[in-house]
Structure 1
Amino acid sequence: MSELPLSEQFQNALKEVTNITNSNLRKDSPEFSVKLKQVIHQLDNVKASILRLALFSINETIEEIATKHIKYLSIDYHIALCLELNMDRKSRAKTLMSSQKFYLQFLHSLDNYEILDKSQSQLLEHFKDPYNPTLEELRPNDPTQRREYKIENFKLEKTLNERLKIIDQVDNLDDEVVRQLYIDQLKLFALKSFQSYEGNMLELEVLKNIPEPKIEEEDHQEEVLPFEYTDKLETLEPPLVSKQGRVLRPFTIVSDRNQVRSKVCGTGQVLPSMTVEELVEQELQNGGMVKPQEPQNNDEEDRDTDNYHDQETYKARQWDEFKEANPKGSGNTTNRG
């Protein structure tokens, strides 16, 4: 974590964002990917500092935020913008979806502070899923209305850009003027967020329909993508409910506090709930296992074998008795006188 004050961290990060946006490097080159990843890491550090200092709360209004802190509300927009710059073919879809999440997170944050225009706020309220709107929900279906909507946005963007030409002179301006300039800047970023989100949705639809390349059967090590963004600690957890009482993301209601307490104070792993013998018995009852068949009873076979040997012995004895009773030659009377 940088030891610089938050204002310097933020200013340095914005300079790097400007540099990477205006870079002459090819956006699909490894060199650009490395630099882009460094800029996003720098923005992540700024966001971590904002979270650590707890500068914002869902329960406060824009009037309760200090003037010097208002500009930090744009951090999600800058992260989304940089993620959108990644042009690596293999990770393009993944980083675009991450960018979309940050754009929506930024817009919902501004809506919570009532910074968005009425039409923009109503548009967010119209989304069935606040963090996954459809293209039909994002823009009018009627081509005429769509054209008028774009013209109005163009005029608003032009007006805001004119007002913000003096934003570099904020140190010499009155606090109320500076405050309004920061709010106008957030409104401009919100306008660009809606435009970028719509364009990214169209691109994601195209990317979904592109067939995946065939996997070669040659043995090779897993290739590391030149650019890959993971949002773990860096992302703000979006609020469950807005100030208007609208649910912003799905959640689970747990009826029993003991259920939650058991997970917190437990062993951290699932312990066995029965013995091996009980498991075997349960499997036998449910048909998951089959009892081993007992060997067939061979008593009858043994009995038949014994009878056979007895009969053979009896025959041999009868033959011996017959030979004793009838000596050899006793029945020959042919040569007797």
Structure 2
Amino acid sequence: MAAAAGKLEPGDEATATASSDEMPRLSDIFESGWKLHDEVESSSESSNSETFQRKVRRGVELLEQATRMVNELDLFSRNEELEEIATADVKYLLLPVLLGALTMKLGNSAKRLEHVQKARVYYMDFLRRCKDYNVMTFEFPQITENKEETDKASVDPSRPTVSNQSSLLSMAAKRQAKIERYNMKKETEAKLKEIKSVICNGKADDEQTRKFYLLNLQKWISTSLEEIESINQEIEILKRMAETKQPRVTRPQRPPMQPFILTRNAVEAKVFGLGYPSIPTMTVNDWYEQHKKQGVLPDQGIPRSCPVDQEEEAESDNEADDEQSLRIAREKDDWKDTHKRGYGNRQNMG
């Protein structure tokens, strides 16, 4: 529909090329995914909007497809130098970092921890390749899963003073490295801005094109180091939030009971089942067995309709009647002991 109207949706350029050539080209797929990343990066709309998330998901799909194709073609090797990589292939070193950036923008809050952990893997893979190819000098980040112990050890007052001084020197060195990295990133972005116009006009030669990709790699190295530090902090927060939400005692939830017609025997169950095929029926024994499997016996959790059962009331009434009859009988015997037979009968008296 979009092709017939002369308008392509974001990321459809690669699909259009695939339909004409019968086989999608790696460069087209990569460029489409990179373009989608730049669009969402500069977008002013809400990151939770469906349009924004559609672009993010489509960008991830394209870049994942490009990654699979690069792996199948075996374009990179740890044994080669950066100068040995063809200029047209240097840009594919950006695949993992672009995937990491887009993964961080996925909007499913329920899977946020999963997304940030996956993004960290992408960033680390990108930095590892850049380190292997000596794209630029940088300190490879150390990932510590138990961050609390690391922080505690660095500020523990019981440790020697020399160790505390080393920690302070380390913090100062990290701060200085951040400042230098920030300045380098700004300088790199300025150079990119100058050369990008030449690249977009299609007038760049092989040397300028190669410089453009290398500058992008250097810029993303600085960005990745910052993102990994931020991701590590977010992972710790998300893990703590997940721990506080988990109940101390986890009890298996019973599935809800379906409505049914309670019958006294199997015969009635068949009769009512035929009359109400949409409502399941069961016998008393079946009802009892179902409650037993659910862990709720018939005498548990069922409140009484009134404080005294009708049978108990009847039994108490019978006991009251028996006591009254016994009292009347005793009074009658006492009366006979004090009065002669025929006392009070005045019919034969004149």
Tell me the TM-score normalised to structure 1 length. 0.56
**Residue 42 of structure 1, CA deviation:** 1.2
**Structure 2 Cα separation of the partners of residues 133 and 64 of structure 1:** 40
**Residue 144 of structure 1, CA deviation:** 3.2
Equivalent residue letter for 2:198: Q
- Specify the alignment match of 1:248 in structure 2: none
- Specify the alignment match of 2:86 in structure 1: 66
**Structure 1 Cα separation of the partners of residues 145 and 187 of structure 2:** 30
1:212 paired residue among 245, 256, 278: 245
- Specify the alignment match of 2:69 in structure 1: 49
Unaligned runs of 5+ in 1: 221-337
Matches within 5 A, 1:209-288: 209-210=240-241, 211-212=244-245, 217=253
**Residue 188 of structure 1, CA deviation:** 0.7
- Does structure 2 conserve the Cα–Cα contact (< 8 Å) formed by 1:13 and 1:39? yes
Are positions 1:163 and 2:194 aligned together?
no
**Structure 1 Cα separation of the partners of residues 254 and 218 of structure 2:** 52
**Residue 31 of structure 1, CA deviation:** 5.5
**Residue 51 of structure 1, CA deviation:** 1.5
- Specify the alignment match of 2:125 in structure 1: 105
1:197 paired residue among 228, 232, 241: 228
- Specify the alignment match of 1:88 in structure 2: 108
Are positions 1:145 and 2:173 aligned together?
yes
- Does structure 1 conserve the Cα–Cα contact (< 8 Å) formed by 2:192 and 2:215? yes
- Does structure 1 conserve the Cα–Cα contact (< 8 Å) formed by 2:185 and 2:219? yes
Are positions 1:77 and 2:110 aligned together?
no
Change (3 A) 1:41 1:184: same
Greater relative contact order: 1 or 2 (C-alpha under 8 angstroms, separation 6 or more)? 1
**Residue 154 of structure 1, CA deviation:** 1.2
Change (3 A) 1:141 1:75: farther
Change (3 A) 1:81 1:12: same
Change (3 A) 1:41 1:65: same
**Structure 1 Cα separation of the partners of residues 79 and 212 of structure 2:** 23
SS at match of 1:182: helix
Tell me the TM-score normalised to structure 2 length. 0.54
**Residue 180 of structure 1, CA deviation:** 2.3
Q: CA RMSD in A?
A: 3.0
- Specify the alignment match of 1:37 in structure 2: 57
- Does structure 1 conserve the Cα–Cα contact (< 8 Å) formed by 2:36 and 2:55? no
SS at match of 1:183: helix
**Structure 2 Cα separation of the partners of residues 62 and 41 of structure 1:** 27
Change (3 A) 1:174 1:35: closer
- Specify the alignment match of 1:264 in structure 2: none
- Specify the alignment match of 1:296 in structure 2: none
Are positions 1:21 and 2:41 aligned together?
yes
Unaligned runs of 5+ in 2: 1-14, 152-165, 257-350
- Does structure 2 conserve the Cα–Cα contact (< 8 Å) formed by 1:167 and 1:178? no
- Does structure 1 conserve the Cα–Cα contact (< 8 Å) formed by 2:100 and 2:123? yes
- Does structure 1 conserve the Cα–Cα contact (< 8 Å) formed by 2:36 and 2:56? no
Change (3 A) 1:50 1:11: same
**Structure 2 Cα separation of the partners of residues 23 and 83 of structure 1:** 16
**Residue 196 of structure 1, CA deviation:** 0.4
- Does structure 1 conserve the Cα–Cα contact (< 8 Å) formed by 2:113 and 2:235? yes
**Residue 21 of structure 1, CA deviation:** 2.6
- Specify the alignment match of 2:298 in structure 1: none
